[in-house]
Amino acid sequence: MGLKDYLNKIVVLDTDSRWLYIGTLKAIEEDCYTIEDVDAHDLKETTTSRQNYLIEVNAHGLVVNRKMVRVCKEKVVGISTLEEILEK
């Protein structure tokens, strides 16, 4: 699967920071990803692990708290569709 295959799908952007972004990938630019209808989640604000949070979102749906976010590619350590998240 190439990056363009992720366009217009709900994706998870794992970053090298405490932030996790889940939303619809709308654009892949030279230096960033643009996602819409985003759940921008600060993992420091919860005791739930990254994996457990993703399992909950996959099971119960996305809670949108941002209309659009541009995430710098240099911060992204992984990208997957929400459907690809496996339960333990």
CATH number for the domain spanning 17: value is 2.30.30.100
Q: Which backbone phi and psi does 64 adopt, to 5 degrees?
A: -75, 130
Domains contained in the chain, number: 1
Residues 23-59: tens digit of each pLDDT: 999 999 999 999 999 999 998 888 888 888 888 888 8
Does the structure show a pLDDT above 70 at 79? yes
Determine the pLDDT at residue 74. 97
Who's near 38: CB < 8 A, 6+ residues apart? 21, 22, 23, 64, 65, 66, 67, 68, 69
3-state secondary structure at position 17? coil
Does the structure show a pLDDT above 90 at 83? no
pLDDT confidence bin for 88, thresholds 50/70/90: low
Mean pLDDT, range 3-30, rounded to an integer: 95
Range of the domain at 63: 3-84
